[in-house]
Every structure is written in C-alpha cells, then in structure tokens.
Amino acid sequence: MDKCKQPYVNQKTNLEKFSPEILSEIEKLFAKKFTYTKPVNDEWKLPDPSNAFTSDHVEFHSLLALKDSMNEVKNQLSDKNLEDWHRHTSFTNKAGKIISHVKKSVNAELCTQAWCKFHEILCSFSLLPEEALQDGELNSVHLCEAPGAFIASLNHFLKSHHVPCHWNWVANTLNPYHEANDILMMIMDDRLIANTLPWWYFGPDNTGDVMTLRHLTGLQSFVSSMSTVHLVTADGSFDCQGNPGEQEALVSPLHYCETVTALMILGTGGSFVLKMFTLFEHCSINLLFLLNCSFEEVHVFKPATSKAGNSEAYVVCLRYMGRESLHLLLPKMVQNFGKEMVNKALFSQHTLPESFLKTHEECCMFFHKCQVETISENIRLFEHMEEAEQIKLNKLRDCAVEFFMQKFHIKPIGKNNWLVKKSKTGCSMNAKWFGQRNKYFSTYNERKMMETLTWNDKVAKGYF
C-alpha cells in the first residue's frame, strides 16, 4: 500500500531520525514571528483624530535603507530565467513537500499553500475568541478570499478538532463571472465559489471590488444578520511583477481598504488577519500603529509554508477593542477609502511614539534578515549545487513535513465534513489565459524591455 494512502492512525511522525542540525534549521523555519510588546505606561495611543490626514507623507530613513538593501539583493534576480528560477526555488523550498503530504494524508479539501498557511496561523495563535467558543457560535468574514482555501482550512480545523460551535461565514473576492474584471487579476479555481455562491458577497455593482465605498457599506448590511463578527481575514494582493521593488507601496491602498473594512465590521474582542509584505513604507508604519492601538495584541508572522524568499507576512491582531475606541477616527478613514494612495498621511510622523518606531524597526530588521539570507542562499545554489547539498535539502524537506504534522496536530476529516460534499460544477476557467503572463518573456529584464515598445513594435514582434 502507498505510504501516503495508509490510514491516518498508522502515520506516526518521527523527528528523532533527523540530525540536530537538520532539526534546528526546520525549527527556525517555523519560528518567524515578531510580537509588538506595548510599553507598560500605555504610551501607544491614537493621536488626536482631528489631525488625521493633515500632514504630508514622510518616509523613515532607516527603513528606506532596509528597503534599498532588500532591492539590491532582489536586483540580482533580474537576469534569471523565470521558469528556471521558479523550478530551482521550488526545490530549495524547505517546506515544499508539506502541501502534497497534507492533501494526501488528512483528506484536506482545497489543500493549497494558502490552506497550509492559514492552518499554521490557526494553530499558532488564539484566533477564535473565547466568547465565540463559549456561546457556541462563530461568525467569520473572509476578504479577497478566492479560491476559498482559508475557509476550507478553517472548516478542517473546526471539524478535526471537534470545536463545538455553529459556524457562519461570508466571503468576498473579485467576481470571476463578471465581464468587467480582468481575467489575469482573478483566481483560476472556482469550485468552492460555484458551489457556495450564496455565501459570497460581490457588492452592489457585482464586481467584488473591495476597494469601493459602495462595497464597504453593502458588506456591512450583508453581515448585519450576524450577532457579531468574530474573525476577519484579508488575503488580498495583485501581480507586481512589473515593479517588484515597489510592491509594498503599490498594494498599500488595498491594505488600507481591507483594514478599514475589518475595523468597521469586526465585533469587540474579535480577531483580524491581514496579509502584508515588507513594512518599510510610511503607509505600513501608520497602519501597524493603528492596529496596535485598536487590538490588545499584534504579531507579524511568516508561516513556514509561505515561500521564504518572498516578502509575504501576516499581521495577526487579537482582541479588538471595538469601534467605540475609534469612533472619531473611523469616519475620517472611510472618507479616504478608495483605490488611490491617500494624499495625506494617516498620522503625522512626529505623533508616533519613539518606542513604537523602535519596535517596528526591530520587526522590519528581523524579517529583512530572514528574506535576504534565503535569497542569497538560493542565488548561491542556483549557480552551483553540490550533491551533498541536494541530499541535505531533501532531508530538510522531509523533516519539515514531519515537523508540520506533529507541531500542528493535523488530523483527517471525512468528505461528508467538506464544504462541497458533491460538486455540481467547477472549472479552472482562467487556465488558458493564465499561461499568457510569461509566454513572451523569460526574465524580468525582458519584461521591462517589452514595456518600452510601441504598439506597432509589439505587433511586429508577434506579441499579439
């Protein structure tokens, strides 16, 4: 019988077979967490709301230096063939075997990288408020959620741990069935959406664009039947391959809209999980200060199953202090809701406490170090990899699987507990278009060169 197909009870994790060196490396992979420790003097308080959005954006030089340093390392990848580099980093990814193992061994529905990342978050933090567990009702809202892996992961967690609560969920994403939406901006797999459509909210214009004010007010109405919202997740992003060095700034309006939405709909005591990237820019600093003033606990966490060479990290916010604590600021934030970068800074630079800025810089330095080490190592191995290093990488990948299963107590569930027990429909509707992204260029430099061509030049070269 195939090892992966054996019943779960026979699959015992065994970390003793790995050397201390291998185990130590994997423990580090699973320990990428930074906690914002608030001063005892309650110094981190929101500035006077009347001063919000009155000052110009001012960057923090020490953090810009980190950004420049990061981009210098990333620039070494500009001439690498994208397919070759992706194949290489897939092999050097120490967590690379986890997803397929989880999919096979515990019957996980919609088991993707996002499924595994969210399971790590669920198992690493007290994300589900005590109130929800005591009352036996859990209400969650999932923004920018397609194809639905966070929902499937949460369902698996609740069912496999026999959490005694009635769970209601609502999700949002760009509507895959709306002709106005760019196919390349959307997720290919619509199986969960197609079979749970009543739970998905696409807004009054039916596009699912979370960055419009009409969507925010409509979503508030859509979730009003819930007694309270205990959990909001926001996993939004978009393709920044054309300008990877400015990913953080390009995505900042989306993060702003996701955060305002969460603060408007979340109940007191609730949790918020927000995907971000690097945290060097003034907009991210202000957002993190806002979250630290709005929640009792804030952590930045990079799951082991998030590729170590990218900038992705999750801001995990626990125990929301409630809209009342923001009652003068939130209306002003709603006024600045939209797709464009706000002209003025949320907070003036001089109003942010030095102790917060110091803590935030420590956070940035920690994740900067982790990412730079990974990229540098990947470049070194790309140029030349000894057989001994390949053997070590395979041991690390095997160890990561065992470590993941043991640390997070991953258990199976039956298909009768899946969200979609029997699919009525389902397709990878964007698959034929998805390949167009990289069809005409193999390196970043070639992609940038194509951007400089005129329409006629592009036609002449056969790009259309």
CATH number of the domain where residue 197 is located: 3.40.50.12760
Average pLDDT over residues 355-373: 98
pLDDT at 437 over 50: no
33 strand-pairing partners:
301
Q: Which residue type, as a one-letter code, is found at position 286?
A: N
> Are 412 and 440 contained in the same domain?
no
Interatomic CA distance for residues 92 and 66, integer angstroms: 25
Residues 208-240 pLDDT 10s: 999 999 999 999 999 999 999 999 999 998 776
Binding site, annotated residues: 148, 167, 235
Paired sense of beta strands 137-143 and 231-234, if any: parallel
Binding site, annotated residues for S-adenosyl-L-methionine: 148, 167, 235
Token pair 């088991």 is found at 111
Catalytic residue set: 275
Residues 2-40 pLDDT 10s: 333 344 444 455 899 999 999 999 999 999 999 999 999
Average pLDDT over residues 240-251: 77
H/E stretch holding 275: strand 271-276
> Are 379 and 310 contained in the same domain?
yes
Cα end-to-end span (Å), the chain? 50
Contact 271, 233 (CB under 8 A): no
What is the extent of the structural domain holding 425? Answer: 19-429
Paired sense of beta strands 313-320 and 295-301, if any: antiparallel
Report which of 351, 340, 249, 337 is spatially closest to residue 293, judged by C-alpha positions: 351
Q: Does residue 122 lie in a domain region? A: yes
Report which of 253, 432, 424 is spatially closest to residue 338, judged by C-alpha positions: 253
> Are 121 and 47 contained in the same domain?
yes
pLDDT at residue number 446 = 55
Q: How many CA atoms lie within 13 A of 343 on its CB side?
A: 2
Residues 275-327 pLDDT 10s: 999 999 999 999 999 999 999 999 999 999 999 999 999 999 999 999 999 98
Q: Look at the alpha carbons of 236, 238, 241, 245 in this order and tell me if their dihedral is positive or negative.
A: negative
> Are 148 and 224 contained in the same domain?
yes
> Are 42 and 25 contained in the same domain?
yes
Interatomic CA distance for residues 272 and 301, integer angstroms: 13
- Name the DSSP letter for residue 189: B
Q: Does residue 283 lie in a domain region? A: yes
* pLDDT band per the 50, 70, 90 thresholds, residue 57: very high
Residue 247: alpha-carbon gap to chain centroid: 14
Interatomic CA distance for residues 442 and 437, integer angstroms: 10
> Are 444 and 349 contained in the same domain?
no
Question: Mean pLDDT in the chain?
Answer: 88
> Are 197 and 255 contained in the same domain?
yes
> Are 364 and 378 contained in the same domain?
yes
Token pair 């967590």 is found at 95
H/E stretch holding 139: strand 137-143
Residues 69-83 pLDDT 10s: 999 999 999 899 989
pLDDT at 444 over 70: no
Q: How many domains does the chain have?
A: 2
Interatomic CA distance for residues 129 and 394, integer angstroms: 39
Peptide bond connecting 204 to the previous residue in cis, omega within 30 degrees of 0: no
Q: Does residue 13 lie in a domain region? A: no
pLDDT at residue number 181 = 53
Report which of 32, 29, 64 is spatially closest to residue 281, judged by C-alpha positions: 64
Q: Does residue 8 lie in a domain region? A: no
> Are 123 and 202 contained in the same domain?
yes
Lookup: tokens for 312 = 């992705």
pLDDT at residue number 13 = 58
Query: pTM, whole model, 2 decimals?
Result: 0.89
> Are 265 and 375 contained in the same domain?
yes
pLDDT at 180 over 60: no
pLDDT at residue number 9 = 42
> Are 137 and 223 contained in the same domain?
yes
Report which of 74, 102, 103, 121 is spatially closest to residue 302, judged by C-alpha positions: 121
Average pLDDT over residues 349-361: 97
> Are 385 and 450 contained in the same domain?
no
